[in-house]
Amino acid sequence: METLRKLPTVLTAEELIDKLFRRASRTTGGNLKDRTINKLSTISNVSKDYFKKVIESHPSYESLPSFYREMVDLVVGIEDIKKALSSLHWADGMIQKIINRAIADVRKGKNPLEVYRSACGRISSIIEDIDEELRFLNEAKQKMREIPSLREMPTVVVAGSPNVGKSSFVALVSTAKPEIAEYPFTTQKIIVGYTPEIQIIDTPGILDRPLEKRSAIEKKAILCLRNVADAILFIIDPTETCGYTLKSQLSLLEEIKRTFGKPTLEVYSKSDLHSFRDRMAFSAKNGEGVEEILKEITKIAKKNYSQTSTVIADSGQTSTQEQHS
Ligand SMILES: Nc1nc2c(ncn2[C@@H]2O[C@H](COP(=O)(O)OP(=O)(O)OP(=O)(O)O)[C@@H](O)[C@H]2O)c(=O)[nH]1
Ligand SMILES: [Mg+2]
């Protein structure tokens, strides 16, 4: 979803006012009356083009594939974006009205300098009124850069409690280079890596607690599980050095299996520290089990990918059924 990553920088009110009046001040030639009309037309054009560029750079959020729609809603808030854009639309219309009226006044013979000064004053106030919305849209642009563009291919979502070793696994098997650290919630964003056969998504840790209590960071993991996983790799740290009991990790696992009903491979991490072998186990420290688990989860993801129709690519229309059958 490159559209989200390529939103333009949005000027603050002060910067936008500067831009409009600086462009107008370059207008030369003609008598005072014509020059004033030209200046006003310049402001009108530059302002119209600017608002159009910003407003049209945003996609129609409702028709985005659910992964992107829900991510935008989580990291920024779709309603807030819409409100801000409609304020810009309002300002655009007001400025055009002020300019049309001013041009008519100059044509009728009113004092050009006075008309111009008063129009500029009113235009500045309108733009100052939307300063908060302009700043919000610029922050939204920054925040949306964290939303990765996914590929249409078998997709594994790696999940589990915080600090169990999810990122360590993803770093070992894929192109992704997530941060790894000994404290929980090291991973706060969705990180995508690739192997020759699968797309593998590292997610923030999830706590064993009711959905309504979960933070926006945990919800990023949840929405990947719901919207893009062809298979789930659930990592359990039976040593509890992660800081979460085995019981709470298994309770989270049950909830995920029950909620999403997706093929789930449950494995133990940190096998260098324990001897539980009733599930497949791996160690990111000595490499034990890593290849076997990758092979198994790849097989599961590929099989389920060919059977389901999770849409994650750019076009909201095409179903993967059509593309793969
Ligand atoms: N001994 C041992 N330590 C490990 C292993 N895998 C990960 N760790 C350690 O466990 C800690 C957490 O590892 P991460 O890969 O960051 O865990 P995570 O699940 O991604 O953590 P969050 O992003 O915070 O949810 C780090 O200190 C790792 O070095 C392992 O196989 N053996
Ligand atoms: Mg992590």
Domain with residue 214: its CATH number is 3.40.50.300
Same domain, residue pair 165 and 303: yes
> pLDDT by residue for the chain (325 residues), tens digit each?
788 988 999 999 999 999 999 999 998 878 999 999 999 999 999 999 999 999 999 999 999 999 999 999 999 999 999 999 999 999 999 999 999 999 999 999 999 999 999 999 999 999 999 999 999 999 999 999 999 999 999 999 999 999 999 999 999 999 999 999 999 999 999 999 999 999 999 999 999 998 889 999 999 999 999 999 999 999 999 999 999 999 999 999 999 999 999 999 999 999 999 999 999 999 999 999 999 999 999 999 999 998 876 666 554 333 333 333 3
CB 275 within 8 A of CB 199: no
Same domain, residue pair 31 and 116: yes
DSSP letter at 148 equals P
Same domain, residue pair 171 and 102: no
What span, in angstroms and rounded, lies between the C-alpha atoms of 87 and 73?
Answer: 19
Same domain, residue pair 164 and 294: yes
Q: What pLDDT was estimated at residue 309? A: 61
Q: What pLDDT was estimated at residue 156? A: 98
Residue where a domain stops, chosen among 144, 176, 197: 144
* The two three-digit tokens of residue 295, written as one number: 């092979």
Chain centroid, CA 291 distance in Å: 32
In short, whether 240's Cβ falls inside 6 Å of ligand 1 is no
Helix runs in the chain, H state only: 2-5, 13-25, 32-57, 66-75, 78-107, 112-129, 131-144, 166-173, 216-227, 246-260, 290-307, 320-324
Give the closest residue to 236 by CA, choosing from 195, 270, 202.
270
Q: Is residue 15 part of a domain?
A: yes
| Residue 50's CATH number | 1.20.120.1190
Residue in the block written with tokens 């808030």: 77
Q: Is residue 149 part of a domain?
A: no
In short, whether 58's Cβ falls inside 6 Å of ligand 1 is no
Same domain, residue pair 102 and 237: no
286 burial (CB, 10 Å; 0-12 / 13-18 / 19+) is: exposed
In short, whether 270's Cβ falls inside 6 Å of ligand 1 is yes
List residues, by chain if needed, whose CB lies under 5 Å from ion ligand 2: 166-167, 186-187
Same domain, residue pair 40 and 78: yes
Helix (H, G, I), strand (E, B) or coil at 242: coil
Same domain, residue pair 284 and 175: yes
By most ligand atoms within 8 Å of CB, the mutation choice from 161, 163, 188 for ligand 1 is 163
Same domain, residue pair 168 and 81: no
Same domain, residue pair 195 and 94: no
In short, whether 180's Cβ falls inside 6 Å of ligand 1 is yes
Task: Tell me how far the alpha carbon of residue 184 lies from the centroid of ligand 2, in angstroms.
Answer: 8
Same domain, residue pair 138 and 187: no
Provide the number of structural domains found in the chain.
Answer: 2
Structural domain boundaries, residue 273: 155-324
Same domain, residue pair 167 and 315: yes
Task: Tell me how far the alpha carbon of residue 202 lies from the centroid of ligand 2, in angstroms.
Answer: 7
Minimal-distance CA residue to ligand 1 atom 6: 165
Residue where a domain stops, chosen among 144, 175, 207: 144
